[in-house]
Every structure is written in structure tokens, then in C-alpha cells.
Amino acid sequence: MKKSLFFALTFSAVCTFNACTNKHDEVMINIVSPTANSQYTSGTPITISADFEGELHECMVKVTNTTNNVEVMNYSKHEHTGEIIVDTSFTPIVSAITNFELFMVHEDHDGNETEKSVAFSVNP
């Protein structure tokens, strides 16, 4: 009985101060390209480059034309390693100055999400 009580109290203390706090380590999202508020010329390929570090499960990358609210690119990757590297590109063709948003979200195995975005524009 004493051993059971000791175990229960010890487990309770460990749970309270560690993993049972529902706190997760946030994943680091490093957007390398495009940079915030950068400007590109229509017809020029734009490299989407980023890396994710931390407890990884799945990442989603999307580019939206915020001028007309149309999604122009969607990319996802499922991984169980310590790092995910995104290296892709798209080539926007525009006839007027157009604003875009690159949005990235990462979900860990517990369903916790980390988000990051960057805005840029494309000129005709």
C-alpha cells in the first residue's frame, strides 16, 4: 500500500511539472524565400524555400493571391524526421501589381499547430 501511494504521488508530481501541462515545444519555421515585402516581376519564377525544425509530422505551404483571394499554389509534406525542407517554386503571370501571401503551417503528432506567413508582390 505504501509503495502504491508513493508511486502515485511521484507520478502525479512528474506529470504536473512535465509532460502533462499540455504545453508543446513550438516548431521553428524559417522562411528563406520569398522575404517579407519583396517585389518580383511577372513571369519570373519565385522560389519557395523554408525549413521546419522540431517535433514534426506534417507541413502545409500555400500561396494566395490576396488581390482576388485565389489560391495559386498548395504544397504539403508528411514527415517523421527532425527536419522538413521545402524547396519549390511557382511562376506568377500578372497584368497589374498583385499582392501575394505565403502561408505555412506545421502540425505535430499531438495536433498542435505553428503558423508563419510572409507577404510579397508581383509587378507586371
pLDDT by residue (tens digit) across 56-98? 678 888 999 999 999 999 988 877 766 677 888 889 999 999 9
Which run of H or E residues covers position 91?
A: none
* C-alpha cell read off for 93: 503571370
Is residue 4 scored above 70 in pLDDT? no
pLDDT by residue (tens digit) across 25-37? 667 788 888 999 9
CA 84: distance to chain centroid?
10
Higher pLDDT, 106 or 1: 106
The secondary structure of residue 25, as a DSSP letter, is P
CA-atom Rg of the chain in angstroms: 21
Is residue 17 scored above 60 in pLDDT? no
Compute the mean pLDDT over every residue in the chain, rounded to the nearest whole number: 78
Is residue 18 scored above 70 in pLDDT? no
Strand runs (DSSP E) across the chain, as ranges? 28-33, 38-41, 46-53, 58-65, 70-78, 83-90, 98-107, 113-123
Is residue 121 scored above 70 in pLDDT? yes
In the chain, where the domains are located = 25-123
Instruction: Please give the backbone phi and psi of residue 93, each rounded to the nearest 5 degrees, phi first.
Output: -115, 120
Of 56, 51, 52, which is closest to residue 24 (Cα–Cα)?
56
Residue 93 neighbours by CB under 8 Å, 6+ apart: 42, 43
Share of the chain above pLDDT 70, in %: 73
In CATH terms, the fold of domain 25-123 is: Immunoglobulin-like (2.60.40)
Which run of H or E residues covers position 37?
A: none
